[in-house]
Chains A and B, each alone.
Chain A
Amino acid sequence: EPEVTQTPSHQVTQMGQEVILRCVPISNHLYFYWYRQILGQKVEFLVSFYNNEISEKSEIFDDQFSVERPDGSNFTLKIRSTKLEDSAMYFCAITIAGTANEKLFFGSGTQLSVL
């Protein structure tokens, strides 16, 4: 199973502030994803990213959210103006090049707390 590193592991921020969550995958991954899990709730799809552009996004992924791969390695999720309800665990996920698609491997997660 591949390792997907996410930083930071914990992020505390004030409501209205911008946060950037980072994911460092192995270079041969094809698809990148962000999922989130509010405490005690389901894991929810946010966005998928392929070939340096968004391929699909959910209704959760509104204008406050953006993703990019600025330097060809790190994959980031930005929340421009955080709200209390953005508090959740955010997971980066990837698929492995050369394997059957749809096998998602998750990173260790970033716990975001908005105060």
Chain B
Amino acid sequence: QKEVEQNSGPLSVPEGAIASLNCTYSDRVSQSFFWYRQYSGKSPELIMSIYSNGDKEDGRFTAQLNKASQYVSLLIRDSQPSDSATYLCAVNGPGGYNKLIFGAGTRLAVHP
């Protein structure tokens, strides 16, 4: 059974701080990794995708991938209260395209 693991949180950070979210995955052949943000009662919203080892930056978000350690992370700089949500890590599953395996998510709370 392919797994994606995340700390459920909540992760509480003050406004303006860096939030660090982590994810590990079990399938070594996974090639595509995604971070989604999900507000309560809403659908997942794609924030970042990363396919190669290293860092990828997009605005206040940085995704980091280490395939040797089977580890992917998301950094949110200058955290805002509006960033308060559940962050889902997703990894492509075995077989066809876009069969994503999701982690249970980490709840982030940014307090003023």
Contacts and interface: CB of A to CB of B under 8 A. Distances in A.
B99 to A, nearest CB: 5
Given A43-B88, A45-B93, A56-B96, A1 B46 contact: yes
Nearest to B97: A101
Contacts, number: 63
B100 A41 contact: no
A106 B39 CA distance: 13
Interface centre among B43, B44, B92, B105 (most CB of A within 10 A): B43
Interface residues of B, number: 23
Interface string A75-115: 00000000000000101010100001111111111000000
A102 B49 contact: yes
A55 interface: yes
Interface of B: 32, 34, 42-46, 49, 88, 90, 92-93, 95-105
